[in-house]
Structure formats: C-alpha cells, structure tokens
A and B are shown apart, each in its own frame.
Chain A
Amino acid sequence: MRCKDAKKRFIALIENKLSSNEKNRLEEHLKVCNECSQLFEKVNSTWAGFNGSEQIKPSPYLWTRLEQRIIEYDEKRNSIFDWLRLPGRWLQPVAAATLIVIGIVIGYYLGNFPTSETEALYANAEEREVVLQDFFESNYLNTFSDGFEGSIGEAYLSMESDF
C-alpha cells in the first residue's frame, strides 16, 4: 500500500469500517512506515476527542434571563391587544387592510427564498424569522401565521416556526 492510500483510510480504520483485507494491508503498512504510523497516532488520538466530547453545564442564570425576556414579550403582546381594542371598531378594517398588504409582502419574500441544496436547511422558519422580524420591527408588529382565526389582534401575534 502506498502512503497516500494508507492516509486516506485512517478514519475508516479508527472506526473499524475497513474490510479485513484492507485492514490487514493498512496495518502492514503502518508497521513498516514510520511516517504514516506517527501520523496515524496523532490522528487517532485527536479523533478520540469527538467521542468524549466535553459536556458543558447550563448557566444557573439561564432561566432567570429567559423568564425576564418572556415577561417583557407578554407585556408587549398585551399592549398590542390593548392598542387594537382602544379606538373601537373603526380600526378593524384598517388593520385588516394592513394585514393584507403585509401578507403580500411576505408572500413576495418567501417566493424569493433560496432553494439550492446548501440553503435548503435554512430556508425555513429560522431564516424567514430574521428577515420578517427586521421588516416588522419598524412597525412594532410581529410576524403572523397564515390562516389566522379569532380576532384580528391574534393575527398580529402568532410567531411562525417550522416544524
């Protein structure tokens, strides 16, 4: 076996994925080739780091911070509800018209989303959320799901996610 071919099979050897024939040939090579056997030892011990991956512990403040954030979110959410109720029914047609316009814009955004293989992974909730949030933050509105039911206020509030 040549050095070049031996090196290509290091991980396969480590993970026990070689046929017995290939395994024997590689092991024979490692016995006689000093360069490859030294290299193999380094790769082998480094690769082992993936197995005993460090497990980190969550910060004790994680919940406190998160709770603060959801309290603020709930307050903001309720204030939008109040705002919608406040001026009375005349606002509802205006709000409905606004929603339709926003819907068209979202449709436009989604229609233009990347579809290549690499992008496919993000071309869902995550990426859309960033774009839409940036877009709506200036209007003090949040994204909403398609086909909302109930009051118009609820339509302002639902967050979209992909699952």
Chain B
Amino acid sequence: MEQPKNMTDEELIKGIAAKDHTALKELVDRYQFMVLNLSNSIIGNRDDAEEVTQDVFFQVYKSAHQFRGDANLSTWLHRITVNKSLSFLRNNKKHAQTLSTDIEYEDGNKIEFGSSDEYKPDELILKNEQKKLLNRALNSLPDNQRVAFVLHKTRDLQYKEIAKIMKRSVSSVESLIHRAKLNLQKELLDFFEKNND
C-alpha cells in the first residue's frame, strides 16, 4: 500500500472511509492549519477554534464514506469548518458575547512577533488592541456577512469559491461582502468617534 504522504486527497478520503487512521492523520496534517485559522477568524478565540478543528476532522472521519468525488475536498472542509464554527457560536452564545468584548491573547503572540530580540511590548499592546477592535467589529456582523468577509479577506478566496462553500450565487456573495465592509466601516468609525482622545 502507498504511503499516506504520497496519496492524493481523494485517495486519503477513500482510506478514511475505510477507517484508516493513518490516512486521517495525513489529512489532518495537510488541512489543520487552514481549518484552525478559518475557525479562529470566525470565532475569535484560539481555544474554541482548536475544539472546533477537532470536531471538523471527527466529522470527516464519520462521513468520509459519503464524500462524492465530484465535490472539491477543500470546499467541503471549508464548509464543515464554517458550519461547525457558527454552530459553536450559537451553542455558546453567552460565552461568545463575553469574549467579543474581552478577548484574551495567549502565548500565540510571540509567534507572530518573531524572535524575542524584536519583541516590543508597546507594539504588542497596540496590536492586541487593534485585534480586539477588529474582532468586536466582526462579531457585530450578521453570520453570513461575517463568513463571506472572513473567507474573502483572511482566506483570500475568490468569490466563486466562496459561493460554492456558502451555497449561494456569486452576486449574493458579492453583496454580502459589500455590506460587511460598510458595516465594519461604520463600527470602526463609531468606535473612534466615541473614543476620541
């Protein structure tokens, strides 16, 4: 049998459908970064995104036998990630609301700022404030605007691909992203006008 590393996505899915754990591990290695970061962009919390990431791959394991070859694996994974992230938010509404006003940043920050000799606390605080503000603005959007915007802006996907993931027309995705930007602009302006120093 072929090494999982050399297998195509489609072959991996077949392996997973046959309950091959090494095939699943390879799929996780290939896509965990994408799944985790997409979920984190939607939820705005690292630990929760980790939990959702695990759920996404568990779902893949359970339903790999239903995956149709004509669908794109990446589209499918994006969709499961979006759905799991949104349902996480819906099931943890209280939790999510506290988070949106007070998001904590853990050790992940150091990765972002490179080696420790470049480490600048002021910059870090500024970055964190900025991230908090962006998260809060994102959280104020209706779900479908937020999802379309995040897929477009942080995943850098084409409208056509977003349309497939969200099962919508390209023009409706375009309009969601447009409205998202206007709403985000309004949120940011409101914030800065209220906190004018």
Q: Is the CB of A158 within 8 A of B154?
A: no
Is there contact, CB below 8 Å, between B91 and A39?
no
Minimum CB–CB distance from A53 to chain B (whole Å) comes to 5
- Determine which of B86, B112, B127 lies in contact with A121 in the assembled complex, contact meaning CB atoms within 8 Å: B86
In the complex, are the beta carbons of B91 and A49 less than 8 A apart? Answer: no
Residues 105-120 of chain B, each 1 if its beta carbon lies under 8 Å from chain A, else 0: 0001001100000000
Q: Are B36 and A43 in contact (CB under 8 A)?
A: no
* A contacts with B: majority SS: helix
* A130 in contact with B87 (CB, 8 Å): yes
Scan A109-150; emit 1 where CB is below 8 A from any B CB, else 0.
000000001101110111100100000000000000100000
In the complex, are the beta carbons of A161 and B21 less than 8 A apart? Answer: no
Per-residue CB contact flags for chain B residues 84-97 toward chain A (1 = under 8 Å, else 0) read 10110011000000
B189 touching A56, Cβ below 8 Å: no
Task: Select A11's contact among B108, B181, B192, beta carbons within 8 Å.
Answer: B181
Contacts known (A39-B192, A163-B71); A50 close to B134, Cβ less than 8 A: yes
* Beta-carbon contacts under 8 Å, B141-168 to A: 142-144, 147, 153-154, 166-167
Q: Which of A11, A57, A130, A163 contacts B33 (CB 8 A)?
A: A57
Chain A residues with CB under 8 Å of B71's CB are 163
Chain B residues close to A by CB (< 8 Å): 19, 21, 24-25, 28, 32-33, 36-37, 40-41, 46, 49-50, 53-54, 57-59, 61-63, 65-68, 71, 76, 79-80, 82-84, 86-87, 90-91, 108, 111-112, 127, 130-131, 133-134, 142-144, 147, 153-154, 166-167, 181-182, 184-185, 188-189, 192-193
Residue contacts A-B, CB under 8 angstroms, 11 given: A11-B181, A50-B154, A56-B49, A57-B33, A66-B28, A121-B143, A121-B167, A126-B83, A158-B63, A163-B63, A163-B66
Report which A residues bind B (CB closer than 8 A).
7-8, 10-11, 15, 39, 42-43, 45-47, 49-51, 53-59, 62-63, 65-67, 69-70, 73-74, 117-118, 120-122, 124-127, 130, 145, 158-163
Known: A54-B108, A56-B108, A122-B87. 10 other contacts (CB 8 A): A15-B181, A39-B192, A49-B130, A56-B111, A57-B108, A57-B111, A66-B24, A124-B83, A161-B62, A163-B79
Task: Give the top 4 A-B pairs by smallest Cβ distance, nearest first.
Answer: A126-B83, A161-B63, A159-B62, A58-B32
